[in-house]
A = this chain, B = another copy of it.
Amino acid sequence: MKRTSAVDRRKTEDFERPILTVDIVLLTLLEGQLQVALLPRLAEPFKGRVALIGGYIHTDEDKDAEQAVRRILHAKAGLKGLFFEQLRTFAARDRDPRGWSASIAYFAVVPHGLLREAAARGIELHPADSAPRLPFDHNAILASALERLRGKGAYSTIPARLLPDVFTMSELQQVYETVMGERLDQSAFRRKIADLDLLEEVVGEKRQTATARRPTTLYRLKSPVEVFERKIGAVTR
User: A62 — which chain B residues lie within 8 A by C-beta?
Assistant: 93
Question: A185 to nearest B CB, angstroms?
Answer: 18
Stretch in A30-38, A52-60, A110-118 with 4+ CB within 8 Å of B: A52-60
User: A98 — which chain B residues lie within 8 A by C-beta?
Assistant: 12
Please, how many angstroms separate the alpha-carbon atoms of A44 and B138 in the complex?
Answer: 36
Using known A-B contacts A12-B43, A12-B98, A104-B102, determine if residue A59 contacts B92 with beta carbons closer than 8 Å: no
- B3 contacts A99, CB within 8 Å? no
The number of chain A residues touching the other chain, given as a range, is: 35 or more
Question: A60 to nearest B CB, angstroms?
Answer: 7
Using known A-B contacts A12-B43, A17-B17, A86-B89, determine if residue A102 contacts B65 with beta carbons closer than 8 Å: yes
Chain A, residues 1-24, CB within 8 Å of chain B (1/0): the string is 111100000011111111110000
- A64 contacts B86, CB within 8 Å? no
| Closest chain B residue, CB of each to CB of A102 | B20
Using known A-B contacts A57-B91, A102-B104, A104-B102, determine if residue A12 contacts B44 with beta carbons closer than 8 Å: yes
- A19 contacts B17, CB within 8 Å? yes
Please, how many angstroms separate the alpha-carbon atoms of A93 and B104 in the complex?
Answer: 15
- B14 contacts A58, CB within 8 Å? yes
Does residue A63 face the partner (Cβ distance < 8 Å to B)?
yes
- Of B1, B65, B93, the residue contacting A4 (CB under 8 A) is B1
- A89 contacts B65, CB within 8 Å? yes
Please, how many angstroms separate the alpha-carbon atoms of A14 and B19 in the complex?
Answer: 12
Does residue A94 face the partner (Cβ distance < 8 Å to B)?
yes
Does residue A219 face the partner (Cβ distance < 8 Å to B)?
no
- B100 contacts A57, CB within 8 Å? yes
- A58 contacts B91, CB within 8 Å? no
- Of B12, B57, B89, B99, the residue contacting A18 (CB under 8 A) is B57
| Closest chain B residue, CB of each to CB of A64 | B92
User: A86 — which chain B residues lie within 8 A by C-beta?
Assistant: 88-89
- B91 contacts A104, CB within 8 Å? yes
- A58 contacts B102, CB within 8 Å? no
Question: A45 to nearest B CB, angstroms?
Answer: 9
Interface set of A (CB-CB < 8 Å, partner B): 1-4, 11-20, 43-44, 56-60, 62-65, 86, 88-89, 91-94, 98-100, 102, 104, 229, 231
Closest 7 CB pairs of A and B: A64-B92, A65-B91, A17-B17, A59-B100, A89-B89, A3-B3, A63-B93
